[in-house]
Amino acid sequence: MSDTAAFPLFYPTYQPFMGERWEMRLAALVICPGYWSGPRMVENMAALIRHDSGNTRAWMSMTPMETESQEIGCQLASGRTVVMGMGMGWAVANAALNPAVTAVTVVEFDAEVLAVVEQSGIFRQLPSEAAAKITIHQGDAYSWTPVDGQPFDTLLADIWLPLHGLDREAQVRTMAANTGATRIYFWGQEMNMAWRLKELGLPMDADGIARVVAEWGLPLLGPDQPDYAERAAAAAERWLRAPE
């Protein structure tokens, strides 16, 4: 992607929330690195926190790393789009704002996550024509299929906590088969590409990325963008870790 977005990205206002397992926290001012950009200050930074068996961990946040690592999918989506994982609703909202997207279906397993987003009124902050595109289903991303039986054009998948995980491309392949999507962006795909190229002993460049995409057999959004390889390599240098 170039530095100029295809359409202006939307950053909603979040409200504090405390549920049984999920919490929305706000931080007044935080300095955060981007996914492929440098550090910058973020005001009123919202974070979705999960409390699980005595463990507390940030699941998602409105940091530049999080938004930059999702924006390609939002900007390049088109037609009927399915988003696997509500998260904080940011990708859903921005996909709906994309003029090339005709409808957005979001699939989320956890009812309390849906309540967090509903409580903040994320989609009510959108223009009415964008909000009208959004349909929400509670379901399992690994098994959900279109309720109307019609295939989707674009799949945006982000249901994982670590940026890089084992067998993620296989999991995405299952989602694509279930939804019929022919255009795909999944969160952290650049890290999975970089790890595979590391295994092959190949550089993270356009040719290497093309090889991995062909090996996976996934119609991924992003690699055909003129600056994708350069940005993906920069992101991998900063964020690549051993898969979990």
Give me the residue spans of the domains in the chain.
Answer: 65-239
- Strands 22-32, 40-52: pairing kind: antiparallel
Mean pLDDT, all residues of the chain: 95
Q: Which stretch of 79-83, 162-166, 178-182, 200-204 has the lowest confidence by average pLDDT?
A: 162-166
Q: Which stretch of 2-11, 55-64, 97-106, 190-199 has the lowest confidence by average pLDDT?
A: 2-11
What is the predicted pLDDT for the residue at 5? 60
Structure tokens at 199: 């295994």
Confidence check: pLDDT of 2 > 70? no
What is the predicted pLDDT for the residue at 243? 84
What is the predicted pLDDT for the residue at 78? 98
Q: Are 44 and 59 in contact (CB under 8 A)?
A: no
What is the predicted pLDDT for the residue at 200? 97
Confidence check: pLDDT of 124 > 90? yes
Structure tokens at 175: 């989602």
What lies within 8 Å, CB to CB, of 201 at 6+ separation is none
User: How far apart are alpha carbons 150 and 123 in whole angstroms?
Assistant: 24
* CATH class of the domain whose range is 65-239: alpha beta
Q: Average pLDDT, stretch 45-70?
A: 94
What is the predicted pLDDT for the residue at 3? 44
Q: Which stretch of 2-6, 57-61, 129-133, 150-154 has the lowest confidence by average pLDDT?
A: 2-6
